[in-house]
C-alpha cells in the first residue's frame, strides 16, 4: 500500500465509508452539481450602477486609486496622466490581450508600451480583469496566454483596466461567471483576488505597502454600459 492509499484509507475509516461507496459518491456529486450559494451580504445585493459605486468606494478604502473613463480610446490618456502625476516613467509592460493591444496608444507618443510577461526590471504593468467584487472592492484576475500572472506582482505599480459590466456584487457571482466562461469542471490555472496594493503590518504593526507585490494599484474603470454612470475621476 502506498502512502497516499494509507492516508485516504484512514480518512475513509474515520468517515465510516467504504472505498467504493456509491451512495456517498452520488451525494458528493449531487452537492457539487447543485452549487449552493453561500450567504450574500446585504451591501452586495444592489443594482448594477450601485454595485459599481460600491466597488469604487471599497477599492479606495483599501488604498487603490481609480479613474473613470467614458470610452476605450480614453484609456491611454488616463494612464499617461496617472504616470505623470506620480512622477513615474512613461513606460509600461501590458498584457498581450487584443483588448489592450488595440487601444490607440499612438495618440500618446511619449508613452512606451510593450506587451508580454513582466520581468523584474519592469516598473509599471497593465492588465485586464475578469471580474470585480463590489462587496470588498476586489479584482479577480485569471491567468492565461493573454494574462500573464507576472504582471500582477512583479512591477512596483500595477494598473488594471476594468469595465463596468465586469463588476458583480459578490464572490459567488464572480465564480458563476468563471463557470459560465470555462464550463463545468474547468478552471484557469490561477485565479488571483487583489484588494488594494500589497501590504503588511508584521513589523511593529505599522502598515508597509509593497511588501509582497506592487505598492500602487490603479484602476481605470471603463463605462461600457451595464453598471456605468458616466465618467468621473477619483484618486
For the cut 50, the answer to whether the pLDDT of residue 111 exceeds it is yes
pLDDT tens string 122-137: 999 999 999 999 999 9
d(CA 7, CA 76) in angstroms, rounded, equals 54
The pLDDT score that the predictor gives to residue 205 is 54
Which residue has better confidence, 184 or 112?
112
The pLDDT score that the predictor gives to residue 1 is 61
Q: Which CATH superfamily is domain 42-222 in?
A: NagB/RpiA/CoA transferase-like (3.40.50.10420)
Averaged pLDDT for residues 75-96: 97
- The C-alpha cell at 19 is 472505498
> Nearest to residue 76, comparing CAs of 105, 49, 109, 46?
105
Output the CA angle 74-226-78, nearest 5 degrees.
15
Q: What is the mean pLDDT of the chain?
A: 88
> Nearest to residue 193, comparing CAs of 163, 146, 153, 144?
153
The pLDDT score that the predictor gives to residue 233 is 36
Averaged pLDDT for residues 10-24: 78
pLDDT tens string 156-210: 999 999 999 999 999 999 999 999 999 877 889 999 999 998 755 555 555 555 4
Domain extents in the chain = 1-34, 42-222
**Which range (10-14, 20-24, 194-198, 222-226) has the least confidence?**
20-24
166: left (phi over 0), alpha (psi -120 to 50) or beta: alpha
For the cut 80, the answer to whether the pLDDT of residue 119 exceeds it is yes
Amino acid at each position: 500500500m502506498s502512502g497516499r492509499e494509507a492516508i485516504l484509507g484512514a480518512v475513509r475509516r474515520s468517515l465510516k465509508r467504504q472505498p467504493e461507496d456509491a451512495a456517498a459518491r452520488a451525494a458528493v456529486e449531487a452537492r457539487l452539481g447543485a452549487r449552493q450559494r453561500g450567504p450574500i451580504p446585504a451591501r452586495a445585493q444592489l443594482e448594477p450602477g450601485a454595485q459599481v459605486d460600491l466597488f469604487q468606494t471599497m477599492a479606495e478604502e483599501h488604498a487603490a486609486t481609480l479613474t473613470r473613463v467614458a470610452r476605450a480610446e480614453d484609456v491611454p490618456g488616463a494612464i499617461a496622466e496617472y504616470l505623470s502625476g506620480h512622477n513615474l516613467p512613461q513606460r509600461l509592460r501590458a498584457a498581450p490581450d487584443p483588448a489592450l493591444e488595440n487601444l490607440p496608444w499612438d495618440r500618446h507618443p511619449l508613452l512606451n508600451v510593450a506587451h508580454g510577461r513582466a520581468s523584474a526590471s519592469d516598473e509599471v504593468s497593465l492588465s485586464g480583469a475578469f471580474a470585480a467584487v463590489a462587496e470588498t472592492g476586489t479584482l479577480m484576475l485569471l491567468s492565461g496566454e493573454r494574462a500573464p500572472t507576472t504582471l500582477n506582482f512583479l512591477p512596483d505599480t500595477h494598473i488594471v483596466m476594468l469595465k463596468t459590466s465586469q463588476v458583480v456584487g459578490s464572490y459567488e457571482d464572480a465564480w458563476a461567471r468563471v463557470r459560465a466562461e470555462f464550463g463545468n469542471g474547468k478552471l484557469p490555472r490561477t485565479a488571483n483576488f487583489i484588494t488594494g496594493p500589497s501590504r503588511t503590518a508584521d513589523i511593529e504593526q505599522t502598515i508597509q505597502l509593497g511588501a509582497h507585490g506592487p505598492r500602487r494599484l490603479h484602476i481605470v474603470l471603463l463605462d461600457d454600459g451595464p453598471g456605468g454612470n458616466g465618467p468621473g475621476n477619483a484618486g
